[in-house]
Amino acid sequence: MTDKKNSILVIDDERSMRELLDVLLSKEGYEITCAESGRKAISLVEKKDFDLLLCDIKLGDISGIDVLRAAKKKNQNIVVIMISAYASTETAVEAMNEGAYDYVPKPFNNNELKETISNALELKTIDQEKKLIDDELKKQLHFDMIIGNSPAMMHVYNLIRQVAKTKTSILVTGESGTGKELIARAIHDESDRSDKPFIVINCGGIPETLMESELFGHKKGSFTGSTQDKKGLFEVADKGTVFLDEIGDLSIHLQVKLLRVVQERAFKPVGGNEDISVDIRIISATNKELANEVIEGRFREDLFYRLNVIEIKLPPLRERKSDLRVLAQHFLEKYSSEMGKKITKISSYAINLLNNYSFPGNIRELENLMERSVAITDTNIILPDSLAISMHKRRRFVEGVKGRRFDLNDVEKGVSLDTILEDLERVYIMRALEFSGGDKIKAAELLGINARSMRYRLDKLDVER
């Protein structure tokens, strides 16, 4: 429910849609007025100051764009959201260039529409929204390219400040794509070693047969093809920082050799007899649970404790959704600049689509998504239609409403068939309700069941619409 009773004018030539929006938004505490035509809407706007217009683009008499222009002429600060099942991308962009806050395609998700309206009333105008995002970007703590002000990230920033000036070994943990290397670089940049080398070693990306030589170097003639001495990466990193990415992939054989480096800061190159001493800061990272790897005998316990003096655990993107909007805007500006485009805004409804996706690939997946969206967009706005998320939307419905994935191989471990079937049933019902605009009878028809069966399933599955 809203604290203030904002007034909304709903303009749609379909009676059923007006009634649906009237009921839906009245429950949210808004004062709703409905108009069945564009001319009626303009007349109402001339007589009363509404906080928001929810206007169909295609009306029976005049265009919704005409209503938008008239409303903006009367009150430049009025918030207008356009909705339509027929609007082309060009029409949607025209509406937003005329001052519309957003464009919402039909069929819409009721909760997403309510969220869009709530956001619109808070921000009031496109200029205010852009200013808010710019202000948020300016407020980011400048640890390299790390972005986000969520409580989870503020905790990470505090840890970076506390440990950066020390020589303590640090273990950065988190799912793939959460930005572990950025954290390591930030620690290095905030340390007294910032003007010295920062060497990244991908423990899972170098073949084991070459890894020892890469890490410790080798002497001329130590093996076939070694025609001259070569410095190892640990020696190259002297006085600086070594970042051991995906440390959990390192073989037991090399873990033994690494343990000596961690303990003594010394090692012998392949084929060499004399120790080389180095002054290095070691930061490791993994997406594995190293404690479990120790239990399973795949990671040395003594090395684990040497590396894990301080752990910095990065949250997945799904646990820091308050940062998603600013991250998406950052990547939009980055790739718009790189591709020579002038895309300045992400539709709020498009942001809602992102918020409803779990992002198993985390920030790396979001960046990839925004890069593809910028590449395929020919307008200056990222709309839901132009958001390159079709693959993600399909995955969302397959995963289920809570991100649960179904894998036939799980049968070997034992599964709950009733739970799986309930989850699938819930997904199809919610999807049908989305297509029907919340009309339960129409949704039942789409699913091939009667109204009574639909009511029973909604109650059983606790689906609120």
- Domain with residue 120: its CATH number is 3.40.50.2300
pLDDT under 70: residue ranges of the chain: 1-4, 86-89, 123-145, 221, 224-225, 388-413, 437, 463-465
Same domain for 324 and 241, yes or no, is: no
Does a structural domain hold residue 214? yes
Does a structural domain hold residue 351? yes
- Domain with residue 449: its CATH number is 1.10.10.60
CB burial of 25-43 (b: ≥16 within 10 Å; e: otherwise) equals beeeebebbbbbbbbbbbe
Structural domain count, the chain: 4
Same domain for 330 and 263, yes or no, is: no
Does a structural domain hold residue 32? yes
Q: Which domain holds residue 443?
A: 408-461
C-beta of residue 223 within 8 angstroms of C-beta of residue 271: yes
122-144 confidence digits (pLDDT tens):
766 545 555 555 555 555 444 55
- Model-level pTM? 0.69
C-alpha distances in Å from residue 7, one per residue of 10, 121, 158: 10, 10, 43
Same domain for 355 and 448, yes or no, is: no
In this predicted structure, what is the pLDDT of residue 256?
A: 93
In this predicted structure, what is the pLDDT of residue 33?
A: 96
In this predicted structure, what is the pLDDT of residue 393?
A: 44
Q: What is the DSSP letter of 99?
A: T
Same domain for 172 and 289, yes or no, is: yes
Same domain for 62 and 38, yes or no, is: yes
Distance between CA atoms of residues 442 and 376, nearest Å: 34
C-beta of residue 36 within 8 angstroms of C-beta of residue 152: no
In this predicted structure, what is the pLDDT of residue 53?
A: 95
- Domain with residue 297: its CATH number is 3.40.50.300
Same domain for 159 and 292, yes or no, is: yes
